[in-house]
């Protein structure tokens, strides 16, 4: 005799398993397209913040004041950007975006940061030992920076009943390396609201 109850349970289990099966689909999109899937800090935030804040920094009087008095472009280096947020943020990508914007502006002379300098110095030491003398790059000829750009990324999180609001605050400052004077202070704010919809089966 057929146990209809068991058959029904087996059929239900099979339907649930079929519903849980996942299929991976990959779609290539232009790198400039905004893909805000999780609501967390992403490549679009990094790029847009770097573009707007570097533009603002280079429009302030410190740049023209320096160029007029020294008769040259100021030399700038990017220092530490601290992640004080609740998220894991790839700060290195944001630093790279800042470096790109500063370099491509052609308004400042941009020099390599601490990590890059160590690699370059090691290369010069290698050249001193192994390269032809007429092609060796001598030590002690680096260009010292006049200003350092540094800052922080912080967040405030608010959450209730499946809805989450994330408030990002990015603070950057340009500091005179000789006097420690802050010649520019910029702030960018981003607010995101993430709503999680419940699926009913």
Angle value at C-alpha 183, between 92 and 46, nearest 5 degrees: 25
What percent of the chain stands above pLDDT 90? Answer: 63
Can you point out the beta strands (E) in 47-141? 75-84, 109-110
| Position 70 pLDDT exceeds 90 | yes
Q: Which of 141, 143, 170, 140 is nearest to 155 (CA)?
A: 170
Options 3.40.50, 2.30.30, 3.30.70, 3.30.450; which CATH number does 39-109+144-195 get?
3.40.50
What pLDDT digit, counting tens, does each position of 84-100 carry?
A: 999 899 899 999 999 99
What pLDDT digit, counting tens, does each position of 124-180 carry?
A: 999 999 999 999 999 999 999 999 999 999 999 887 777 888 999 999 999 999 999
H/E run at residue 18: helix 4-20
Note whether 177 and 145 are within 8 A (CB): yes
């Amino acid at each position: 005799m057929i146990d209809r109850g068991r058959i029904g349970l087996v059929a239900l289990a099979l339907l649930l398993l079929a519903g849980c099966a996942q299929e991976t689909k990959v779609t290539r999109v232009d790198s400039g397209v905004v893909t805000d899937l999780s609501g967390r800090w992403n490549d679009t935030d990094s790029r847009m913040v770097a573009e707007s804040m570097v533009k603002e920094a280079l429009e302030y009087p410190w740049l023209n004041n320096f160029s007029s008095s020294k008769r040259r472009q100021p030399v700038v280096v990017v220092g530490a950007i601290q992640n004080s947020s609740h998220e894991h943020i790839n700060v290195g990508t944001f630093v790279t975006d800042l470096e790109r914007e500063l370099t491509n502006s052609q308004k400042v002379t941009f020099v390599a940061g601490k990590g890059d300098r160590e690699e370059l110095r090691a290369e010069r030491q290698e050249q001193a030992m192994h390269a032809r003398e007429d092609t060796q790059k001598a030590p002690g000829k680096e260009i010292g920076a006049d200003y350092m750009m540094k800052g922080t990324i912080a967040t405030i999180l608010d959450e209730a009943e499946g809805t989450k609001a994330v408030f990002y605050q990015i603070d950057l400052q340009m500091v005179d390396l000789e006097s420690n004077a802050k010649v520019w202070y910029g702030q960018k704010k981003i607010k995101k609201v993430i709503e999680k919809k419940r699926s009913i089966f």
